[in-house]
A and B are shown apart, each in its own frame.
Chain A
Amino acid sequence: MAEQSLASALTALLGADRVFADSAAREAYSRDATPLFRGLPEVIVAPHSTQEVAEVVKFARATKTPIIARGAGSNLCAATVPLNGGIVVSMMQMKKIIEVSRNEMLAVVQPGVSTTQLDDAVAKEGLMYVPDPGSKTVSTIGGNAATSAGGLRGLKYGTTKNYILGLEAVLGTGEVIRTGGRLVKDVAGYDITRLLIGSEGTLAIFTEITTALTPRPKSAQYGVAYFNTLADASIAVDAIVSAGILPATLEFLDNTCIKAVEDFAHLGLDAQAGALLLFGDDGNSESVAKTVGAMADISSSARGVRAVTLAPDVAAAEALLYARRCSLPALARLGSMSILEDISVPRPQLSRAAEAIEKISEKHSLLIGTFGHAGDGNLHPTIVLDKDDADEVKRAEHSLSDIFNLALELGGTITGEHGVGSAKLPYLRAKLGDVSLSLHHNIKSVFDPDRILNPGRLGS
């Protein structure tokens, strides 16, 4: 359907204040946080209720128009770039926190609520919403659920998939379903909630989400260890977990990242070190002190260690966490474009992955800074380049495929937490194999028979 008639039909359906089709609006929604990908939607709609979402989906189905659910558009895998045009459904008008239940330790929210808004709201009840992606101030609970977002405390607490109890969702048919609910235990039927988590808007659009909460920890402590290489830091991480310690936080940065962060934020980091390991835990103060002390001890006697210190106060701890959180933007300042990757490997393979990434960077003469959630085996090698240098862009593409192959060889995956979207779709077959891919395809047909939900992505 032509843009104009699409827009006028949708306007007739929902009212003019819900529909945008002018050039500026379409341009603004042509991108997300992923570099290199761009595509214009024909129209943007901003529904205010489940009913309105269902009407848009029915309309899209009747007209065979692609429909892309979008939260804050902070994903890093081009999951919301309208490469096939169509309708972008912005969930940002549905941002009510419907309920926080202290005795059931759960919250019910609309999908446009941001991760931080939810955590702040439940903090008033002494509770915590655990998953804390680096993007938490921006990203929405709907987007987090649709990508099963991770964060900085996945090792001890798990990721988004461990905190979604139930969903209300609109299927590709326009029908509304409810999955899961408020129960701690419920095995009646397939676990459709879990199937929908991480489905990247290809199976259903979430309109209400019930999340699990935990008691807010009373205290937290952090420390930092410097090593000669990222591989040395990786070995220390493996030693810590092997010693039976399961801390909230084990994050690391390589020398390229340390230097970039230090240049940018002046935190007094050791810019000579090959790697920085940030360790920390939360809980009651005695057990925290014990765990953090044990991690400091293990690090102190690990291979290639340079120095170990504990953060003396909250401000120092905040500075360390900030160093980790600002790695990406700090790296991004070094070039006109940066491509952030997200491989994950079994923890014992972490040191090999770290060494191999360094070799890949040399082989393609590229600047690659690596940071990541070391405790989860999740690495973010980030290529920094000049976007106008065609040769460098080509070399970057080659290095990406080397990085993905590396992850698979080590028994890992092409994306640990950012998702597949369009950016990683070409590598999905290598990870899943033919049978699993065709199962994906068939599952998609059941939820979305006309294949209108985020087409060209998972399940295509």
Chain B
Amino acid sequence: MSSESREKFTQSKLDRCISCGYCLPACPTYQLTGEEQSSPRGRITLMRALQDGRLPFSDEGAQEQASFCLGCRACEPVCPAGVEYGVLLEEWRDITWRGRKRPLIIKALFQMVSAPWRVQLMSALSPIARKRKSSTDIHLALGCFERRLFPKVSRAVAKLAPNISIDPTQGCCGALHAHNGDLEGGKALAKKLGEKLPGTILSTAGGCAAHLSAVLGQERVQEFSQWWSGNLKPMIRNGKPIRIGLQDSCHLRNGMGVFKEPRKILAQLGEYVEVPDAQGCCGAAGSYSLLRSRDSKKVIAPKVAAIKELGLDYLVSVNPGCTRQLKSALRRSKVKTKVVHIAELIALGP
């Protein structure tokens, strides 16, 4: 963990906000409560009070809002003034969650991914894609939690893209750290991964891709659906093309602006159905579903109802956290729709 932490927010980033409130309708926590303090604008007002010393960083209500925020960044694309809310939130958590104040679950997660050998250990029992070197300059990033929970994803990519290199000795990308109050640590890990995987990094996790591209530069990083260029045939089941929906990855959409790409792929694979509020956070939000499981369930509840109504064969995810969240929510509500990563669906074949 880095000892170098910030004292204050970047003033010019706070000044950007003109308090217009355009971000209110986009914010899932504001939708839940209708309370200004749990809106993006309200949180920025709180940051300003913290910055100017009107509120102490230890203020309980303020800390609650730093933690209640999903970090989904849905407030960014709708902001006419270009406020970088995601960066401000990272700074906020960096200050409030520094050292001992960090929630225990986060400390435990940090520990699990603190060294490459630990990350490898996570996939010790999961059959992920095998090590392979290729002549091209494209390297697959193996998300830490994706390795453990959804090893089929990297195997699917390995099958679909015989020309990419895969190196299981790589470490964590640091997105977890950046989102949970360790900005410096998050940056350092991303840079280390950038050195370990020279050239283009291909990622199957929206959250990791967005973090890596923020640190290493957009030109170094490709999320899977952005990178995929092959033509696909419709998948026919019981004589009909399959019905497919998508759940956007917040950081992929709001941070990297990638949302048309997966839809284009899915439209080739079957009958694509836009899930209502597909762009809205599913409540997984990285470690959020572990830290605030009740709020996380409230966020996903209306989505589950909408998905049930649509009678989809597959619901496609582009981020492992979302996959986990959607799988368990649909299971709880006995919805039959299967949740898969986009690469897995392509790999199934027509």
* Chain B nearest CB, measured from A20 CB (Å): 7
Contact among B22, B37, B80 with A24 in the assembled complex (CB-CB below 8 Å): B37
The answer to whether B80 and A329 have CB atoms under 8 Å apart is yes
The answer to whether B80 and A28 have CB atoms under 8 Å apart is no
* Chain A nearest CB, measured from B239 CB (Å): 34
Produce 1/0 per residue, A73-98, CB < 8 A to B: 11000000000000000101101000
Contact among B18, B21, B78 with A73 in the assembled complex (CB-CB below 8 Å): B21
Residues in A neighbouring B60, C-beta threshold 8 A = 22, 24
Residues in B neighbouring A110, C-beta threshold 8 A = none
Residues in A neighbouring B54, C-beta threshold 8 A = 27
CA distance A29 to B306 in the complex (A): 33
Is A32 part of the binding interface, using a Cβ–Cβ cutoff of 8 Å?
yes
Is B348 part of the binding interface, using a Cβ–Cβ cutoff of 8 Å?
no
B15-51 contacts to A (CB < 8 Å): 15-16, 18-22, 24-25, 34-37, 39, 42, 45-46, 49
The answer to whether A329 and B20 have CB atoms under 8 Å apart is yes
B41-87 contacts to A (CB < 8 Å): 42, 45-46, 49, 54-55, 59-62, 64-65, 78, 80-82
Contact among A24, A32, A333 with B46 in the assembled complex (CB-CB below 8 Å): A24
The answer to whether B35 and A32 have CB atoms under 8 Å apart is no
- Which residue, of A27, A32, A92, A137, has the highest number of chain B Cβ atoms within 10 A? A27
The answer to whether A138 and B25 have CB atoms under 8 Å apart is yes
The answer to whether A31 and B45 have CB atoms under 8 Å apart is yes
Produce 1/0 per residue, A324-351, CB < 8 A to B: 0110111011001110000000000000
CA distance A336 to B56 in the complex (A): 24
CA distance A44 to B34 in the complex (A): 12
* Chain B nearest CB, measured from A280 CB (Å): 21
Is A173 part of the binding interface, using a Cβ–Cβ cutoff of 8 Å?
no
* Chain B nearest CB, measured from A446 CB (Å): 32
* Chain A nearest CB, measured from B221 CB (Å): 24
For the complex, count residues of A whose C-beta is within 8 A of B. Answer: 41
A20-B21 contact given A27-B49, A27-B55, A336-B15, CB 8 Å threshold: no
Residue of B nearest to A387 (CB): B15
The answer to whether B22 and A135 have CB atoms under 8 Å apart is yes
CA distance A27 to B42 in the complex (A): 8
Is A213 part of the binding interface, using a Cβ–Cβ cutoff of 8 Å?
no
Contact among A73, A135, A332, A387 with B81 in the assembled complex (CB-CB below 8 Å): A332
Residues in A neighbouring B49, C-beta threshold 8 A = 27
CA distance A29 to B36 in the complex (A): 7
Is A193 part of the binding interface, using a Cβ–Cβ cutoff of 8 Å?
no
The answer to whether B18 and A332 have CB atoms under 8 Å apart is yes
Residue of B nearest to A329 (CB): B80
The answer to whether B34 and A46 have CB atoms under 8 Å apart is yes
The answer to whether A22 and B36 have CB atoms under 8 Å apart is no
Residues in B neighbouring A337, C-beta threshold 8 A = 15
* Chain A nearest CB, measured from B267 CB (Å): 20
The answer to whether A135 and B21 have CB atoms under 8 Å apart is yes
CA distance A337 to B39 in the complex (A): 21
* Chain B nearest CB, measured from A132 CB (Å): 14
Contact among A20, A74, A264, A336 with B35 in the assembled complex (CB-CB below 8 Å): A20
The answer to whether A28 and B21 have CB atoms under 8 Å apart is no
CA distance A90 to B39 in the complex (A): 14
Residues in B neighbouring A333, C-beta threshold 8 A = 16, 81-82
Residues in B neighbouring A325, C-beta threshold 8 A = 80
Residue of B nearest to A75 (CB): B21
The answer to whether B55 and A33 have CB atoms under 8 Å apart is no
- Which residue, of B34, B59, B78, B80, has the highest number of chain A Cβ atoms within 10 A? B80
Contact among A24, A31, A92, A387 with B61 in the assembled complex (CB-CB below 8 Å): A24
Residues in B neighbouring A116, C-beta threshold 8 A = 25
Residue of A nearest to B62 (CB): A24
Residues in B neighbouring A74, C-beta threshold 8 A = 20-21
CA distance A23 to B45 in the complex (A): 12
* Chain B nearest CB, measured from A210 CB (Å): 23
CA distance A424 to B39 in the complex (A): 28
* Chain A nearest CB, measured from B16 CB (Å): 7
CA distance A103 to B12 in the complex (A): 53
A114-B25 contact given A33-B20, A329-B80, A333-B82, CB 8 Å threshold: yes
Contact among B34, B45, B78 with A30 in the assembled complex (CB-CB below 8 Å): B45
Is A72 part of the binding interface, using a Cβ–Cβ cutoff of 8 Å?
yes
The answer to whether A24 and B25 have CB atoms under 8 Å apart is no
Residue of A nearest to B34 (CB): A92
* Chain A nearest CB, measured from B279 CB (Å): 15
Residues in B neighbouring A25, C-beta threshold 8 A = 35-37, 61
CA distance A33 to B81 in the complex (A): 13
The answer to whether A27 and B45 have CB atoms under 8 Å apart is yes
CA distance A328 to B22 in the complex (A): 12
Residues in A neighbouring B21, C-beta threshold 8 A = 33, 72-74, 135, 138
Residues in B neighbouring A92, C-beta threshold 8 A = 34-35
The answer to whether B24 and A24 have CB atoms under 8 Å apart is no
B183-230 contacts to A (CB < 8 Å): none
* Chain B nearest CB, measured from A76 CB (Å): 9
28 of the cross-chain contacts (CB-CB < 8 Å) are: A22-B60, A22-B61, A24-B46, A24-B61, A27-B37, A27-B46, A27-B55, A28-B39, A29-B36, A31-B19, A33-B18, A33-B20, A72-B24, A73-B21, A73-B36, A90-B35, A112-B34, A135-B20, A135-B21, A137-B78, A138-B21, A328-B18, A329-B80, A330-B80, A332-B81, A333-B16, A333-B81, A337-B15
Q: Which A residues contact B (CB, under 8 angstroms)?
A: 20, 22-25, 27-35, 44, 46, 72-74, 90, 92-93, 95, 112, 114, 116, 135, 137-138, 264, 325-326, 328-330, 332-333, 336-338, 387
Q: Which B residues contact A (CB, under 8 angstroms)?
A: 12, 15-16, 18-22, 24-25, 34-37, 39, 42, 45-46, 49, 54-55, 59-62, 64-65, 78, 80-82
10 more CB-based (< 8 A) A-B contacts, given A27-B45, A333-B82, A337-B15 = A23-B61, A27-B49, A27-B55, A29-B37, A35-B19, A93-B34, A135-B20, A138-B22, A326-B80, A329-B81
Cβ-closest 10 pairs across A and B: A24-B61, A329-B80, A28-B37, A28-B42, A92-B34, A28-B36, A22-B61, A336-B15, A329-B81, A74-B21
